[in-house]
Amino acid sequence: MTDKGILFVFSGPSGTGKGTILSSFNQKYDDKNIKYSVSATTRAPRPTEIDGINYFFKTEDEFNQMIKNDEFFEWAEFCGNLYGTPKKAVFDLLESGKDVILEIETKGALNVKRMYPDAVSIFILPPSLSELKSRLMGRGTETPESVQNRFETASRELPLAENYDYIIINDVLDDAVEKFRYIIESQRLKTNNNKNTILEVLKK
């Protein structure tokens, strides 16, 4: 029997580089034991985003129905849109021994930690506020109002970093990716995550 997978919560202000770190990590390591939860959102898709891959894009009515049906592990409002983690997919993957990454904002992240204390939470800090703003603008996905809204939200999110298990400053991208990998690998080595592995060895 395999051990249950580990739940990683990956968060930090919009524009800090969460998506960039995860996609660079994927390209570099192609880790088959890690799965990414696909959230539902009422936000409009960006030109490069694909329904079912980046997000499940929902109307507000559809999202509210999902809340009523108790389909979410957690959900939160962020800068005028709703975002939620579908529960079943996450727990099915964890049960099958896969590690799961939730890339979610701070309210959802802290709720997950409360409901599931074994979750390992990682906060991605920008090297500075001015760099955060220029990354948000440079991404080219936001209107000036949305950049401002996300930047103001960041000032409320940044102090919450102290509640997370790990902090990574995303200055040089490759360094941040390596630090992320250290965290993943060290969690995998914890005795608690290897109880069944020990039993399997004893049977051999």
Token pair of 99 as six digits: 């590690």
- Beta strands 99-103; 34-36: pairing state: parallel
Q: What is the rounded CA–CA span in Å between residue 158 and residue 131?
A: 14
Q: Please list every residue from 37 through 56 that binds ligand 5GP, using CB under 6 A.
A: 39, 43
126 binds, among ligand ADP, ligand 5GP, none (CB under 5 to 8 A by kind): none
- Using CB under 6 A, pick the residue from 109, 135, 166, 180 that binds ligand ADP: 135
CB of 152 within 8 A of CB of 78?
Answer: no
- Report if residue 104 touches ligand 5GP, rule: CB under 6 A: yes
Token pair of 166 as six digits: 């790990």
Q: What is the rounded CA–CA span in Å between residue 20 and residue 5?
A: 23
- Report if residue 83 touches ligand 5GP, rule: CB under 6 A: yes
170 binds, among ligand 5GP, ligand ADP, none (CB under 5 to 8 A by kind): ligand ADP
Interacting span for ligand 5GP (CB under 6 A) from 88-96, 103-111, 162-170, 177-185? 103-111
Nearer to ligand ADP, 20 or 153 (CB): 20
Rg of the chain over Cα atoms, rounded to whole angstroms, equals: 17
**SS3 for 154-204, per residue?**
HHHHHHHHHHCCEEEECCCHHHHHHHHHHHHHHHHCCHHHHHHHHHHHHHC
- Using CB under 6 A, pick the residue from 8, 35, 85, 135 that binds ligand 5GP: 85
Q: Please list every residue from 11 through 50 that binds ligand ADP, using CB under 6 A.
A: 14-20
The least distance separating ligand ADP from the CB of residue 43, rounded to whole angstroms, comes to 12
- In the complex, the residues that contact ligand ADP under the rule CB under 6 A are 14-20, 135, 138-139, 170, 173
